[in-house]
């Protein structure tokens, strides 16, 4: 049994599909602050299997102990947290409370229940402004906003925990830029309000919900001047979690591993790929740089290949096609009419 915190969210729901399809029993803990219960009904529809859902907050340690005991979980995949960079600058305490405080409470509950295997969602944001590319796991770590700091603090906490008790088995997965959706078109990213991230915004332009994309800067030192990122299909990312769990069965370690493709694409590459996948125009305007943005960021995914036997298999076309299938079938996300989803 695997306990998945934040399992109703974007990456969590895709990981639940892969876990269930691999024959794992799954219990989700989510407070639904950034997701809909509908996503988990869709997970069940895709897989033809059921999972247990517990509506609880990870900051509620007693509820977490109860969830661990009642589910009989052997391991936890921990997605629950807040992830909007701008919001974290405006309301840092919410990020320290939810991300750091929530993780402390979860770890205390795990310790009390003797469950010491954890896969944690970190981010390439912990590398700060890259000093060299591609990014390897030993690149110096830094943070430029409270969201990034919360990930760094949690990473350090996990390393300290493992040093204090070598029974802990911890995989820190540093995601690059997750995009796309399940090939069924039934689950995908469902941002509330105006999307901050590029691909959900592009998808809303293609579907006609917004007029154009603002390209945040074309004067970076990149091939076409626009920002370069390592976009990774969310299903590939989800599969990386299963591989991380597999490794932890053999290794009592605490290790950070990049989950990326190793290839960088520019904003304009993404717009063109999305136009092709959707058959719809994606108008854009060049706007000023976004505060806090970096020019380029992409992974060296060699460790994941060596240690996990994992590599990303879905290409840019699949990322855009699957994102488009989700967006066009569910123009209002999970609040869309479900009869034709």
Positions marked catalytic = 147
Closest approach of Cβ 185 to ligand UD1, in Å? 21
Q: Which of 5, 98, 103, 177 binds ligand UD1 (CB under 6 A)?
A: 177
State yes or no: residue 201 binds ligand UD1 (CB under 6 A): yes
Contact yes or no for 47/21 (Cβ under 8 A) = yes
Buried b (16+ CB within 10 A) or exposed e, 13-39: bbbbbbbbeeebbbbbbbbeebbbebb
Q: Which of 80, 109, 198, 259 binds ligand UD1 (CB under 6 A)?
A: 198
Partner whose footprint covers residue 215, from ligand NAD, ligand UD1, none (CB < 5 to 8 Å by kind) = ligand UD1
Contact yes or no for 131/140 (Cβ under 8 A) = yes
Instruction: Tell me the β-bridge partners of 123.
Output: 175
The one segment of 70-78, 161-169, 197-205, 304-312 that binds ligand UD1 by CB under 6 A: 197-205
DSSP track, 72-140: T-SEEEE--S---HHHHHH-HHHHIIIIIIHHHHHHHHHHHHT--EEEEEEEGGGB-S-SSSSBPTTSP
Which residue, 38 or 230, is less far from ligand UD1 as judged by CB? 230
Which residue, 112 or 284, is less far from ligand UD1 as judged by CB? 284
Q: Which of 16, 80, 154, 271 binds ligand NAD (CB under 6 A)?
A: 80
Partner whose footprint covers residue 260, from ligand UD1, ligand NAD, none (CB < 5 to 8 Å by kind) = none
Partner whose footprint covers residue 231, from ligand UD1, ligand NAD, none (CB < 5 to 8 Å by kind) = none
* Torsion angle of the four alpha carbons 119, 191, 146, 286, in this order, in degrees rounded to the nearest 10: 120
Partner whose footprint covers residue 292, from ligand UD1, ligand NAD, none (CB < 5 to 8 Å by kind) = ligand UD1
- Which positions lie near ligand NAD, rule CB under 6 A? 5-6, 8-12, 30-35, 57-59, 79-81, 83, 98, 102, 121, 123, 175, 178
């Amino acid at each position: 049994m695997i306990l998945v915190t934040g399992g109703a969210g974007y990456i969590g729901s895709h990981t639940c599909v892969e876990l269930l399809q691999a024959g794992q029993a799954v219990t989700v803990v989510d407070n639904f602050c950034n997701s809909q219960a509908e996503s988990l009904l869709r997970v069940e529809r895709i897989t033809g299997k059921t999972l247990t859902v517990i509506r609880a907050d990870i900051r509620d340690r007693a509820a977490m102990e109860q969830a661990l005991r009642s589910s009989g979980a052997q391991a936890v995949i921990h997605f629950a947290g807040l992830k909007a960079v701008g919001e974290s600058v405006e309301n840092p305490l919410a990020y320290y409370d939810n991300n750091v405080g929530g993780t402390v409470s979860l770890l205390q509950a795990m310790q009390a229940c003797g469950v010491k295997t954890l896969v944690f969602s970190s981010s390439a944001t912990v590398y700060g402004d890259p000093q060299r590319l591609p990014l390897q796991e030993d690149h110096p770590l830094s943070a430029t906003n409270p969201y990034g700091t919360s990930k760094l603090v949690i990473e350090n906490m996990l390393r300290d925990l493992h040093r204090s008790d070598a029974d802990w088995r911890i995989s820190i997965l540093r995601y690059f830029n997750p995009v796309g959706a399940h090939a069924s078109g039934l689950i995908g990213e469902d941002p509330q309000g105006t999307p901050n991230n590029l691909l959900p915004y592009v998808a809303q332009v293609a579907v006609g919900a917004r007029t154009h994309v603002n390209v945040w800067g074309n004067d970076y030192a990149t091939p076409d001047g626009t920002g370069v990122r390592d976009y990774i299909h969310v299903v590939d990312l989800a599969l990386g979690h299963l591989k991380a769990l597999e490794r932890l069965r053999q290794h009592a370690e605490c290790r950070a591993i990049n989950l990326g493709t190793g290839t960088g694409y520019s904003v304009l590459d993404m717009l063109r790929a999305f136009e092709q996948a959707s058959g719809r125009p994606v108008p854009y305007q060049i706007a000023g740089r976004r505060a806090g943005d970096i020019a380029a960021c992409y992974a060296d995914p060699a460790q994941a290949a060596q240690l996990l036997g994992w590599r990303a298999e879905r290409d840019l076309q699949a990322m855009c096609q699957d994102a488009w299938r989700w967006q066009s079938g569910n123009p209002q996300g999970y609040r869309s009419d479900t009869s034709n989803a």
